[in-house]
Structure 1
C-alpha cells in the first residue's frame, strides 16, 4: 500500500507541473556594453538579480575589455545571475544582442539585417530568437534609421503570423511608440505591453520610451494578461545612470486559461492595472474608448487607448471613487477606481 501511495503522489505532482502555467517575468535592458569593466558587470548583474526575471533581453553586449581584448562578459553575467545565456554577434564576433533565461531555450535562431545603402547607421541589426514551450522570446536592438527599422519590422510581423506560438519581442527599438515602426506593429496585431508613459532613456533624466516589450498572439498561441509592468528606477546601493544610459523595463505576463473553444472572436476579460500615474488596461481586443465618470455621473475625461497605454486622471480631479468605463467592438467593462493623489 505504501508503494502505491508513493506512485500516485508522484504522478499527480508531475501532471500538475506540466499543466499549471505560472506567471513569467520578462525584462529588457540596454547595458551600454562599450568599455565594459568587471565592476560595472557586477552592477549589471545586481540590477538584474534585484528584479528576479525569468527571461532577459540584452542590448549592446560587448565582449571586450576596456582596452579591446576579447572577454566573454555575457557568460560571466549568466554565471552571476544563475541563468542560461545566448549571444548573437552583429559586429565582428564580439558585439551584439544577448539573452538570459532561467530555463534553457528549446531552440535558438538568428536573423540579421545589413544597413541600407543610404543609412547613416552602418551597424548591422538583428533578432536573437529563443523558443520556449509556449512562446518565442526575441531580443533586438533596432537601427537609428527609419527605413532599416521598417525592414526589420516587416520580417518580425511575417515571423509572428506564421508562428503557432505567441511571440514576444523585447529590446531597444530606437523609436518612440508613435514612430512608424511601432505604429506598423500595432496596425498588424502587436500590442505594446509596458507602460509607454514611463520613460527609459536617458537614465539620468528620462525623456522618452524607446525600450519596449511587445507581443503578438496568433489563433494557436497561448494568450497572456499583463499582471504588472514597470521601469526600474532604483536599486539599493547603485546609481543606475552609472550602470547604463538606459533603464530596464519589465513586464509580468500571466497565462490565460484556455476555455476549450478555438474562436478568434471570443471575448476576453480585460484587466485594469494600476500604475504610478493612473492605470493601464490589458487584454484589450481592439483600440478602446475609456470614459472616466465621477460618482454623480459627471463625465470627467475620455481617451482612446490600446493595450498598455497609461490613462491619467485630470489634475483637477479630487481624491475619491470613480467609475472607469471601457468599450470596444468586442468588450464592454466598468471598473471602480479609487483616486488618491
Structure 2
C-alpha cells in the first residue's frame, strides 16, 4: 500500500487532466499495471497475433465492489479473459477504463488496482492502455470499470454456440451459482449467514489444458449473468437442439443449495464467474473432465447432461425421482443482478 494515499479520497481534480490526474495514474495505475506494452501515449502500439484474433469488451458495475472471493478489479480481468478463452483465444492484451465517484477512498482504489495486477499476471495478459474519469458524488456507485481484451485464437480450435450437436455431452467446469449467491448475501440484509465465496477466477489456463488434451470441442461458454440455465437456453436456441440435464449430477455447494432453498431460487440461474459450460462429443467427455479436475479452478467438473434432437430450443431436467421437468426459460429480472 502506498502510504502517501492513506485516508485520501478521489476528488474532481483527479479527473481534470492536470497534476492530480497524473499523480493518480502514476501512483495507482502505472504502479500496478507496469509491463513492457503499457503506454503513456494516446494509444498502445502492439504486435498483432498470428492468425485470427478474438476481441471482447465488458462493463463492470458490480455492487458491492468488494465481496468474499474478490472485488470489481479482479472481476474485470476475469470476465474479459474468460470471454476470450471461450473462443479458444489466448489472452494477450487488455485495456481498461475507470469511472470513479468523487469521494471514493484512494486506498480502496489501490486495492482494486492491486487485484487487477495480480489477476492479469496469473492470466498472462498485459494491460496496455486505459482511461480515467471522475464523476460527481452520486453519479456513479463507487467505481465502474470497462475492459477490452484481445487474444490469439489457437490453431485448430473452432467453437461457437451454433455448433452443439445431438449426442454431445454437457459439462460444467465446477460447482454453480456461487458468485450470484455471494453477491446476493452481501447486498441484501437477509439475516442469512453462510460460508460462501465467489468463484471468480481467470480460466484461460483451464481452457488451455483442455485444448491441449483435445481440439474436438463444440461450445465453450462462460456462465456469468443468468448462470448455467440461461447459457444452455442460449445454446439450445443457437444450435436448434434440445438439452437434457440430470439434476443428480449438477454440482452445487451445500451452502449455496441451502440459501437457494430458503429463498426459492434456482442455482442454475445464479451467476458464476469461475465456471464454464463445455459442450463436446460424448466420447471426449470423460477425458475432458479428467483434465479439468487436475486444474485448480475446476476440481468439481462434471458431466451434467447431453444434447438431444427432442424439444429443440428447450432445456429439460431429469429429476431425482426419474421424471422430466421443463426448466423454465429465463425472463424478466434475474436475481440477484450482478452488474
Place the TM-score, normalised by the shorter chain, in its bin.
under 0.3
Between structures 1 and 2, the one with greater helix share: 2
TM-score, normalised via structure 1 length: 0.28
Q: Which has the higher contact order (CA 8 A, sep 6+)?
A: 2
TM-score, normalised via structure 2 length: 0.28
